[in-house]
């Protein structure tokens, strides 16, 4: 637990939250400022600032929990879709530096905007970048 971390305080019960799911490794709560009704955030109980710091064990369990909660959300809310998204670092829009996954229920006609302007690669550029990144994978 990190003393100044708001999500660690929520996990510890010092700050109340509307909790959807909890097990030994994760707590899933309602986001306090939701993009849509039912917007949830999934918090590992261990403090990791972001994906880069996360351990393999927590990472491998995260998607299983996310799928279970997302399925329950879809059934209960009757949403047409759901975005699972996760910000790492200020540049990527992260505002709370305790790793978390957003689960955002989506309706066909909602006005939530997660779009970006699409760019394009020059000849051979994508392959070159792919090769360079691949060399660093441990």
Site string for Zn ion, 69-108 (x = CB under 5 A): -----------------------------x----------
98 in active site = no
User: Considering only residues 32-61, where is the footprint of ligand 5GP by CB under 6 A?
Assistant: 32-33, 41
Task: Indicate which of ligand 5GP, Zn ion, none lies near residue 98 (CB less than 5 to 8 Å, by partner kind).
Answer: Zn ion
Instruction: CB nearer to ligand 5GP: give 33 or 113.
Output: 33
Single out the residue of 47, 61, 74, 106 in contact with Zn ion (rule: CB under 5 A): 47
Q: Please answer whether residues 96 and 7 qualify as being in contact, where contact means their C-beta atoms are separated by less than 8 angstroms.
A: yes
* DSSP per-residue letters across 9-65: HHHHTSS---EEEE-SSEEEEE-SS-SSTT-EEEEESS--SSGGG--HHHHHHHHHH
Q: Please answer whether residues 72 and 103 qualify as being in contact, where contact means their C-beta atoms are separated by less than 8 angstroms.
A: no
Q: Is 95 in the site for ligand 5GP (CB under 6 A)?
A: yes
């Amino acid at each position: 637990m990190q003393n100044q971390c708001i999500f660690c305080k929520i996990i510890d019960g010092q700050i109340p939250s509307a909790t959807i799911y909890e097990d030994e490794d994760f707590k899933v709560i309602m986001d306090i400022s939701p993009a849509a009704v039912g917007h949830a955030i999934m918090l590992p109980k261990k403090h990791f600032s972001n994906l880069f710091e996360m351990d393999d064990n927590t990472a491998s369990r995260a998607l299983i929990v996310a799928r279970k909660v997302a399925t329950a959300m879809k059934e209960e809310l009757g949403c047409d879709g759901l975005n699972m998204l996760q910000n790492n670092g200020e540049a990527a829009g992260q505002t709370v530096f305790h790793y978390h996954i957003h689960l955002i229920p989506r309706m066909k006609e909602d006005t939530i905007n997660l779009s970006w302007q699409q760019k394009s690669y020059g000849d051979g550029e994508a392959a070159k970048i792919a090769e360079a990144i691949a060399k660093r994978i441990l």
